[in-house]
């Protein structure tokens, strides 16, 4: 059997195993392309199913109903400690300008709150939490359905 000049050049340059290696590479590449095409078809089918669910009102209603009404069992973790859980809350410190005596000057309370908002807005809630209920009653309007 005689080799053509081009084949002889390839064999001389890349070695006698070059055709086998090239064939193995092409078979591997073909398998990878077939697998990729199968995955692409699966994604396409899934996308078409999702599009159908989202565009058909009856299908969407059924899917939404099943999503919110079907119950799936969930394994609850077992705790070694049988005591009831009691949350502990870290209470914020009382602001320095808050006094323990009730405040009777409602307008002064709101001025103090305005000052706290101007100085440190993210901590002004602390001042607000110390204000008297009368201050809120004068600021808020309650409508009676008379």
* Sequence-ordered list of residues with C-beta below 8 angstroms from that of 116, at least 6 positions apart, any chain: 95, 123, 124, 126, 127, 128
Tell me, yes or no, whether 27 lies in a domain: yes
Residue 57 lies in a domain: yes
**Number of folded domains in the chain?**
2
| Higher pLDDT pick, 28 / 66 | 28
Q: Kind and range of the H or E element at 54?
A: helix 18-55
pLDDT, tens digit (0-9, with 9 covering 90-100), for 89-134:
666 666 655 555 454 677 888 888 888 888 888 878 888 888 887 7
Enclosing domain of residue 47:
5-69
12 and 65 fall within a common domain: yes
**84 lies in a domain?**
no
Domain stops at, among 43, 69, 95? 69
Q: Does residue 38 belong to any structural domain of this protein?
A: yes
Q: Give the pair of three-digit tokens for residue 82.
A: 């049988």
Residue 132 within any structural domain of the chain: yes
| 9-44 confidence digits (pLDDT tens) | 888 888 888 888 889 999 999 999 999 999 999 999
Question: Which value, in Å, is the radius of gyration of the alpha carbons in the chain?
Answer: 38
Same domain, 65 and 110: no
pTM to 2 decimal places: 0.36
Residue 77 lies in a domain: no
Residues 11 and 63 in one domain: yes
Last residue of some domain: 45, 69, 93?
69
Residues 10 and 65 reside in one and the same domain: yes
Distance of CA 50 to the CA centre of its chain: 21
Is 128 within a domain?
A: yes
**Spatial distance between the Cα atoms of 105 and 91, rounded to a whole number of angstroms:** 26
Residue 15 domain-assigned (yes or no): yes
Of the pLDDT bands very low, low, confident and very high (cuts 50, 70, 90), residue 85 is low
């Amino acid at each position: 059997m005689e080799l053509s000049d081009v084949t002889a050049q390839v064999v001389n340059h890349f070695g006698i195993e070059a055709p086998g290696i090239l064939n193995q590479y092409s078979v591997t590449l073909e398998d990878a392309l077939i697998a990729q095409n199968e995955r692409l078809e699966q994604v396409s089918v899934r996308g078409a199913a999702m599009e159908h669910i989202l565009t058909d009102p009856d299908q969407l209603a059924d899917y939404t109903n099943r999503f919110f009404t079907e119950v799936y069992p969930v394994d609850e973790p077992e705790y070694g400690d049988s005591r009831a859980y009691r949350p502990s809350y870290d209470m914020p410190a009382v602001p320095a300008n808050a006094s323990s005596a009730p405040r009777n000057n409602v307008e002064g309370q709101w001025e103090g709150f305005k000052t706290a908002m101007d100085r440190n807005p993210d901590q002004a809630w602390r001042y607000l939490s110390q204000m008297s209920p009368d201050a809120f009653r004068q600021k808020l309007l309650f409508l009676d359905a008379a």
